[in-house]
């Protein structure tokens, strides 16, 4: 993380964008303000940011599409949504895309500042704690540092949240990973939407790991999940 945290703010409401930029700059951040998704993507491709704040409803490219581009960027910056939309499906979609948080308008600036600081501290903590970088999962190789999961000649680039979920499963291989504890460790808090989002990432990882029949992510009812890896079954090419 840079000495002065750099934030990409993509907000099509010019008045709100200027006010929020000024507020964040007064609190020690460097802010790049863009008014639509396309200009936000161009800024992302030219610079590295410590955090992205994305409005959802924007011209040219909405916040959800821009979030997918954030995940494809290297390094992948954490992002949160700032939006007037508070529908359950929208929140779930945001978290499923890998959002660290979802804040609905109108909002309290001090609360937003607090959430931003929490997210940035979490990023620092993740990078500071030594962790195993490579895992062998049956016929798969998981490179945590590069956010890559490989099977033969095929490689998936994982989102930041997928990367963290798979790391926790690997660290608890053949043991129970408690759902509530995992959600709190990844997101810094627990609530209904974050729990649903975590379950979606488990489903995505199951699909990625389906090529080796020795591997399964099993539910433990009302408790959590177990990444089971056995040595008996042959590897499937399908």
How confident is the model over 103-145, as pLDDT tens digits? Answer: 888 888 888 898 888 888 877 766 655 567 889 999 999 998 8
Residue 39 scores a pLDDT above 80: yes
pTM of the model: 0.64
Longest pairwise C-alpha distance within the chain: 62
Q: How far apart are CA 115 and CA 78, in angstroms?
A: 12
Q: How far apart are CA 54 and CA 183, in angstroms?
A: 22
pLDDT tens profile 191-210: 777 888 888 899 999 999 99
DSSP secondary structure of 113-125: HHHHHHHHHHHHH
Which range is least confidently modeled, 172-176, 198-202, 233-237? Answer: 233-237
């Amino acid at each position: 993380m840079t000495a002065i945290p750099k934030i990409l703010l993509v907000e099509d409401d010019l008045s709100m964008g200027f006010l929020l930029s000024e507020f964040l700059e007064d609190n020690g951040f460097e802010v790049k303000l863009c008014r639509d998704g396309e200009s936000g993507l161009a800024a992302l491709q030219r610079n590295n940011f410590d955090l992205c704040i994305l409005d959802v409803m924007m011209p040219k490219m909405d916040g959800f599409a821009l979030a997918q581009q954030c995940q494809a960027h290297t390094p992948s910056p954490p992002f949160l949504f700032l939006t007037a939309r508070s529908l359950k499906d929208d929140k779930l979609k945001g978290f499923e895309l890998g959002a660290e948080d979802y804040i609905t308008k109108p909002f309290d600036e001090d609360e937003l500042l607090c959430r931003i600081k929490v997210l940035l501290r979490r990023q620092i903590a993740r990078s500071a704690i030594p962790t195993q970088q490579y895992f062998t999962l049956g016929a798969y190789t998981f490179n945590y540092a590069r956010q890559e999961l490989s099977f033969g000649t095929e490689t998936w680039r994982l989102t930041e949240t997928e990367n963290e979920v798979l790391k926790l499963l690997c660290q608890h291989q053949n043991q129970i990973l408690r759902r509530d504890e995992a959600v709190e460790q990844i997101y810094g808090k627990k609530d209904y939407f974050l729990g649903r989002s975590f379950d979606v990432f488990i489903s995505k990882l199951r699909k990625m790991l389906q090529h080796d029949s020795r591997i399964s992510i099993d539910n433990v009812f009302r408790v959590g999940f177990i990444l089971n890896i056995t040595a008996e079954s042959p590897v499937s090419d399908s």
